[in-house]
Amino acid sequence: MTESVDRQTAVLRLRGADDILILCHKNPDGDTIGCAGALYLALKALGKNAAILCSDPIPKMYDYMELRWFDGSFNPAFVVAVDVASIQLFGENNNVPQYAAHTNLCIDHHASNSGYAYETLLDPGAAAACEFLLDVIVDMGVTITPQIANCLYTGIATDTGCFKFASTTPHTHMAAARLMEAGADVEKLNARLFESRSHARITAERMAMESLEYYFNDLCAVICLTWDQIESSGVAGAELEDLTSLPRSIEGVEVGLTYRQQRDGSFRISVRTSGSIDACNIARRLGGGGHTRAAGCEISGNLDNAKHAVLEEVRKELQRCGLLDQDAG
């Protein structure tokens, strides 16, 4: 079982370590990559030897970050995971499991964190792990350069949907303001992260919307992409992340579900909610986790079984919130 540590302890661990391996979660998003990039640059500024490892390729949309990928040229003496809530989220490629099994420190903001690391620095009130990593890096005695600021802003902006999600707090905006003052190129980053769509992404969106279904008096909307569709569109994994907001954005919908089939046939389900509905409640009962308004899980089996399992939990949550009659099927 992990030991919870405060920021000062985490800073001591990082300043006292060397030959540091930074682990991201599989299907990497802006927060895990932004954390990794910022922490790598901070450790480099302290003269530390550090590198980053991820089970899956880093999407091209994040190629503006200065990252050093682990090539096996040193034996990691200290392993730190960033924005990874559970051991299952590391993935199986690039020898990640052998390092993840001995994670010294986890820096995370998911309330559902499973406590897999020896020590965990957790702030579930933060909208993104990058939001409070900013203070960690400052406490390490490192100046926030424009390059570090770009990394941290990426994580905050992407995990809040460009500050639209309910997880956004005054502190989130203040952190973003500090990064702007430090030189984050906000105009360029926002354009790249939120205003640019590839032809492949648009094709995938069209396919997903063709699958749209409604349940529970139209309170729940579902879209799905099979692996064959993802392959045929040629869309990169990261470009699919903002698809998760589409079903929830429909008028009157309280729960939006996005099913994305993985290469092995399993389904990755993203849950987005509004009002009093807790997305994490839905995902956690299926072995996943996340936040109040945004959560996810993975389910093996065919699409019909995956739909049935998740919709049953959605039904329970809608009934708990009084939005659906208790005898509704």
Please give the average per-residue pLDDT across 218-236, as a whole number. 92
Joined tokens for residue 5: 């540590």
Residues in the chain: 329
**pLDDT at position 239:** 73
Extract the tokens encoding 159. 């995990």
Report the pLDDT averaged over residues 261-285: 92
Sheet holding 213-215, edge to edge: 213-215, 220-225, 255-261, 267-273, 294-299, 289-290
- Average pLDDT for residues 295-311, to the nearest whole number? 93
Rg (CA), the chain: 20
What is the per-residue pLDDT for 329?
A: 57
Whole-number Å distance between alpha carbons of 323 and 90: 36
Residue labelled with tokens 């839905």: 282
Prediction pTM value:
0.85
* Span 91-102, average pLDDT: 95
- Model confidence pLDDT, tens digit, residues 160-172: 989 988 889 999 9
- Amino acid 198: pLDDT: 82
Query: What is the arithmetic mean of pLDDT over 179-187?
Result: 98
Q: What does the mean pLDDT of the chain come to?
A: 94
Burial of 189 (0-12, 13-18, 19+ CB in 10 A): buried
Q: How far is CA 196 from CA 151, 180, 193, 233, in A?
A: 18, 21, 7, 17
Domains detected in the chain = 3-194 (3.90.1640.10), 200-320 (3.10.310.30)
Q: Write the CB contacts of 116 (distance below 8 Å, at least 6 apart in sequence).
A: 2, 86, 87, 100, 103, 106
Q: ∠ at Cα 183 (178, 186), nearest 5°? A: 85
Average of per-residue pLDDT across 270-275: 92
What digits encode the pLDDT tens for the residues 274-283?
Answer: 988 999 999 9
- The mean-pLDDT minimum among 80-84, 88-92, 184-188, 193-197 falls in 193-197
pLDDT at residue 67 tops 90 = yes
CA 32 to chain centre: 6
SS3 assignment for the chain: CCEECCHHHHHHHHHHCCCEEEECCCCCCHHHHHHHHHHHHHHHHCCCCEEEECCCCCCHHHCCCCCCECCCCCCCCEEEEECCCCHHHHCCCCCHHHHHCCCCEEEECCCCCCCCCCEEEECCCCCCHHHHHHHHHHHCCCCCCHHHHHHHHHHHHHHCCCCCCCCCCHHHHHHHHHHHHCCCCHHHHHHHHHCCCCHHHHHHHHHHHHCCEEECCCCEEEEEECHHHHHHHCCCHHHHHHHHHCHHHCCCCCEEEEEEECCCCCEEEEEEECCCCCHHHHHHCCCCEECCCEEEEEECCCHHHHHHHHHHHHHHHHHHCCCCCCCCC
Task: Give the mean pLDDT of 313-323.
Answer: 94
pLDDT of residue 134: 98
Tens digit of each residue's pLDDT (9 = 90 or more) over 4-45? 999 999 999 999 999 999 999 998 999 999 999 999 999 999
CB 129 within 8 A of CB 109: yes
